[in-house]
Amino acid sequence: MTLTNREGGSVLVIGAGLSGLTAAKALAEAGTDVTVLEARDRVGGRTYSVREGFTDGQHCDLGAELIPPDYRTLAGLCEEIGVPLSEEIWFERPDTSPEETPLEGYLAEGRIIVGGELLTGKRFTAVADEIRAALRESPPVAHEVIEQWSRRARLSAAARGALAGIARMPVQSDPFQVDAHYLTSGHVGAIRRVVGGSQRLADRLAREVKVRLRAPVRAIRLPGGRVHVELEDGEQLAADRVVVTVPPFVLPTIGFDPPLPASHLGALTSLQRCAGGKVVGQYAEGDAVREAIAHAVFSDGPVNTIWVSNPYVTTGPAVVSGFLCGTQRHLLESADRAVGALDVLVRTAVGGPVTRLANRCKNWTSDPLALGMGAMPSFGVRAPLAALFTTLQRRVHFAGDYTDVGFCGTMEGAIRSGLRAADQVLRQPLRFSPDAIDSELVRA
C-alpha cells in the first residue's frame, strides 16, 4: 500500500503568476498549509493590466491577454471563480475552411502591411495567391524554419514581407527562429479576453491563498528532510516541499543547494528566449480604429502585429496593442520610438490621422523578474524538455508555462502546469525525517 499525502503538509510556492497562484489554490483547497512568495509588489507575473493614464475607465494589458477556444482549463477556471470573458472575435478569417492552413486563414485584404503600405486590391491578391501556390507546390515541413521555407519556396520579397508579421505573431521570435508548424497546423480560432484585463484573473486567484509580496528568493536549500527557502533579506522559511514557478530565464538566478542536475541546467540554457514586449496606445478615433484593427493587422515593420485590446467596448476611444520582438526589440528602449512606430501602423491601417490619448510600453526582456516574454522551444523538442521539469527533484517541484508541452508559453500552459504540480505534491508518499519520527511518532 502506498501512503499518499492528500493534505500536502506545508508548501512554499515561489512566484505569484498564474501557475503559482493556480497551484497554491489547488493545494489550499486540499488542506495544505501553503504560502506564495512573490518578488514583485503585485501578483500576476507576466499578466499585467494597467489603468493609469487611460481615459474612459479603459485599461491596457502589457502581458498576456489573448484566449483562443482551446484554452479550456483557463476558461473553466474563470467561470469557477467568477472572472468574465469577452465575446469572441476572429483573427483568422471566420470563413477559413478546415482544409486551409492557419497561414491562409490570416490572409485577409486590408490586414497586412508591407513596406509601409496596406495591401489591398490587386497587390493583396497577387501576394496571397503567391503564398497559397507556395503552400501547395512546396509545402513546408513542420520542423522547417519559416525563413528557410520562404527561400526554398522562392517567395518574392513582397510575399516574405507579408509572411513576416504572421510568422512572428504566435511565438514572438523572428522567422529565422520559428518552425513552420505554426503556419500549417493549430488554427487559433476565435479570441476572447478577460473583461477588464488579464490581471483580474490573478487578483481573484490571490484572494484564495496567502501571498507575501516583495519577497524575492535568494536560494533553495534541502538539508535533511525539509526545504529551506532563503529570501534576499536573509530571512529563512521552512516547508515540507517547494513549488518553483518563476520564468525559466529567472530560474538560474536562484541558488540551489545541492545544485540542480546538469540535465536541468543544460535545458535551461538551451531554451530559446522570446525577446521583446508590447507597446500600447489609446486612440480617440475609436470607431475607425475598431473597424480597421479589431481583427488584427500584421506588418513586416518593427511592430509586427496590432489589434484592439478591448473590442467589447463599442463606444469611445479604442486601445491598440502591438508586439515588438526579436531583432526589433531595441525600439522598446525608447518609449517615444516604440509608440511612434505604433502610431504609424495605426494610421496606415485606419487610412487617416489618429489622435493618441495615452500610451504604455513594456520590455519583458529587460525586466529582471521575467528576462523575456517567454520560452517557445521548437515543437519537436518540447516533450523531452518538459519531462525534465515535471520530474520531482527531491522536494522541489517545477511549474510554469514552459513545463507544459501542448500549451508551452501560454496562459493555458501556466494554469495547467500549476494544477499538475499541485497534484504531484499531493500524490507524493508521506516521508518523515529522523527528527520528526523521534518527536512526532516515537515520543507521541
- How far apart CA 268 and CA 413 sit, in angstroms, is 17
pLDDT tens-digit series, residues 91-108: 999 889 888 999 999 999
- CATH code of 10-45+199-272+376-438, in short, is 3.50.50.60
Q: Are residues 408 and 255 in contact, defined by beta-carbon separation less than 8 angstroms?
A: no
pLDDT tens-digit series, residues 344-364: 999 999 999 999 999 999 999
* H or E, element range at 299: strand 297-299
pLDDT tens-digit series, residues 372-404: 999 877 777 788 888 888 888 889 999 999 999
Residue 8: the pLDDT is: 53
Among the ranges given (20-34, 224-238, 387-401), the one the predictor scored with the smallest mean pLDDT:
387-401
Residue 429: the pLDDT is: 59
Q: Which CATH fold would you assign to the domain 50-68+190-195+273-363?
A: Polyamine Oxidase; Chain A, domain 2 (3.90.660)
The tally of CA atoms less than 13 A away on the side-chain side of residue 21 is 27
Backbone φ, ψ for residue 17 (5° rounding) = -80, -170
pLDDT tens-digit series, residues 212-228: 999 999 999 998 889 99
Residue 2 has pLDDT above 50, yes or no: no
Q: Tell me the domain boundaries of the chain.
A: 10-45+199-272+376-438, 50-68+190-195+273-363, 92-107+119-184
* H or E, element range at 308: strand 303-308
Give mean pLDDT, residues 321-343: 94
Residue 5 has pLDDT above 90, yes or no: no
Residue 281: the pLDDT is: 98
pLDDT tens-digit series, residues 253-279: 999 999 999 999 988 888 888 999 999
